[in-house]
Chain A
Amino acid sequence: LAKTTQPISMDSYEGQEVNITCSHNNIATNDYITWYQQFPSQGPRFIIQGYKTKVTNEVASLFIPADRKSSTLSLPRVSLSDTAVYYCLLERGSTLGRLYFGRGTQLTVWP
């Protein structure tokens, strides 16, 4: 699977909107873009998945441009409890569940 590139760390303040961008220049036609969140001493938690355009759920929004070579996870009005590592992954139908996580983005939210 093609790998992704995302910032190692980001800082924000409570109440702000946070956008984490992920690059995946070699994304394949049948790859889906998936984001997971991980708190210390816990396993990752699925946040959102998309193929193109925009996907929104109760936690976040995912923006994917037409060329699909990047994607942006948007977290509205973050709180201290959103401090976590966020992973951007590509998931292919033929390899469902066999995920390549990379190092993720450590988001720290300050009061």
Chain B
Amino acid sequence: DTGVSQDPRHKITKRGQNVTFRCDPISEHNRLYWYRQTLGQGPEFLTYFQNEAQLEKSRLLSDRFSAERPKGSFSTLEIQRTEQGDSAMYLCASSWDRDAEKLFFGSGTQLSVL
């Protein structure tokens, strides 16, 4: 068990470009979450999957954001037409149904939009 893995760790992009992040959860975890964190603030919930089904999306997740978890394993988060306000740390977490209150977070992807 290597924990939750996120790739890349850092991403620098120009405004208007599309970016995609990947998250590999702990293998036996069926729940997967995406959070976003800006400097000095706590993480904010974006979306949640149970297996391959996306069960909830926050109002923070605008139409430019899309998340997938095609086979109930890894997940991707895509941001289209990035804006400077999208600059943040994007965190992925996973948990297991039988211990769902304990989330395991990855180290995040730091996005900088220039």
Contacts and interface: CB of A to CB of B under 8 A. Distances in A.
Interface string A7-22: 0000000000000000
A43 B107 contact: yes
A42 interface: yes
Nearest to A34: B101
23 contacts: A41-B110, A42-B105, A42-B108, A43-B92, A44-B91, A44-B103, A44-B105, A46-B102, A46-B103, A49-B101, A96-B95, A96-B100, A96-B101, A97-B48, A97-B93, A98-B45, A98-B48, A98-B56, A100-B45, A101-B42, A102-B42, A103-B40, A104-B42
A80 interface: no
Contact of B100 (A41, A45, A97, A104): A97
Contacts of B104: 46
B111 interface: no
Interface string A72-95: 000000000000010100010000
B44 A97 contact: no
Given A41-B107, A43-B106, A46-B102, A101 B56 contact: no
B2 interface: no
A55 interface: no
Pick from B4, B45, B56, B103 the residue with the most CB of A within 10 Å: B103
Contacts of B48: 97-98
Nearest to A91: B101
A87 B43 CA distance: 10
B31 interface: yes
B48 to A, nearest CB: 6
